[in-house]
Chains A and B, each alone.
Chain A
Amino acid sequence: MFAEIFRRGGIFAEEAGRFRGTVAYDGDMTRGDDRFDIVTLVVRAREGDIASFEALVDEYERKLLRFAWRALGDRQDAEDVVQDTLVKAWRSLDALAEPAAFGTWIYRMASNRCTDVLRRRTSRPSEASDPEDLGHHVDGAASVERSVEARTALEHFSEILQTLSSEQRVTWVLHQMEGLSYAEVAETLGISEGSVRGRIHRARTAIAEGMEGWV
């Protein structure tokens, strides 16, 4: 017995297009010679298909790692955020109402975790990432001891980023480094565009003032 409900491909193309227009994360995944759309992969993963989830991990893991690393300045912390985010995603796929919004959804989870990590850090100099060791686990004491003249603009910039609030920093990284529009950042973080604009403005002002004379 067959029940045939044929929904026009056009409607779904439209919906998929809306999500692609808002947040540029999603595309077709490759699985061997086959391409599975994001909705199929998420629905299958949500029903326990590990292979489909692997394809999602393959697509998002590196992007998320790069984002978390840029936001946190510490590789180990970034890996922890990505691991926790993707495992949580696997365990709570049922909570995702729109499979097509998977990209936005995990970026939101990763952003929230990054914000939490940044908030938990105390503002001791030893917590600051040493720009020379960018990408490695850090002991910032050395940078404090170096003379001001020896610091490069990049190192100074990295220190300025440390002074931003957790929310400002994560928001700013999403916009300036991940290349998301204000609307996309708003959707990712689940806040209003106005809030995004405010955070970015304050971040930019702090960075501009901090970098005065360095650029």
Chain B
Amino acid sequence: MSDESVNATDAHLRGIIDEYMGAFEPDPAESVGLRERILQIVREDAVLAPATKLTTERGNPFRMATAEVRGIIREAVDSVPGIRARSVNLTPAGEPEGSAVEVSLTVTMSAGTAFVSAAEDVRRSVAGALIAQVGIPAMRVDVTVEDVFVDEEAADD
């Protein structure tokens, strides 16, 4: 078959192809089960996820899912206006090791945010959350801005 006639048939086929495509339109309600199965497996995986070794003030050692500690830190970062947490890195520190943590983060920042004061707020928010939620002090909080985003809501002002 010549390329020409292939192309011509293609055009005629467009209707068939569109009809075929239309037959496969997933109903959102039907795929709820699929989404739930995926997330259930993801949640179950949490048990096997890496843990950070920490120590209570009384000297009792324990392990805590690193993702959970990062989550607490992320929430503290996100609560600062104009800042969104990206990567959270934490290292057990102090004496004994794990009685404190060192945190270094990357964030994205809304254009127009005053960085110096925002970073100060982030540091305070993270340190405060770690003590209040986990019970472990932060020895150090490094903040690195990796990207800038335009705050859609703010842009409408």
Q: Check whether chain A touches chain B (CB < 8 angstroms).
A: yes
Q: How near does chain A come to B73, taking the closest CB pair, in angstroms?
A: 10
B123 touches A2 (CB 8 A): yes
Interface range on chain B: under 10, 10 to 19, 20 to 34, or 35 or more?
35 or more
A145 at interface by CB-CB < 8 Å: no
Task: List CB contacts (< 8 Å) of B118-157 with chain A.
Answer: 119, 123, 140-149, 152-153
B87 touches A47 (CB 8 A): yes
Q: How near does chain B come to A92, taking the closest CB pair, in angstroms?
A: 12
Please indicate the chain B residues that have their CB under 8 angstroms from the CB of A205 in the complex.
1, 6
B13 touches A37 (CB 8 A): no
Task: List CB contacts (< 8 Å) of B1-54 with chain A.
Answer: 1, 5-6, 9-10, 12-13, 15-17, 19-21, 23-26, 28, 31, 34-35, 37-39, 41-43, 45-46, 49
Proximity bits, A116-155, B CB within 8 Å = 1, else 0: 0000000000000000001100000000000000000110
- Footprint of B on A, CB under 8 Å? 1-7, 9, 12, 33-37, 39-40, 43-44, 47-50, 53-54, 57-58, 61-62, 65-66, 69-70, 79, 82-83, 86-87, 90-91, 134-135, 153-154, 157-158, 176-177, 204-205, 207-209, 211-212, 215
Would you list 14 pairs from A and B whose C-beta atoms are within 8 A, ordered by A residue? A2-B119, A3-B144, A35-B152, A37-B147, A44-B85, A44-B86, A48-B70, A53-B42, A62-B26, A87-B42, A135-B23, A135-B24, A177-B17, A208-B9
- Footprint of A on B, CB under 8 Å? 1, 5-6, 9-10, 12-13, 15-17, 19-21, 23-26, 28, 31, 34-35, 37-39, 41-43, 45-46, 49, 65-68, 70-71, 74, 84-88, 104, 106, 108, 111, 115, 119, 123, 140-149, 152-153
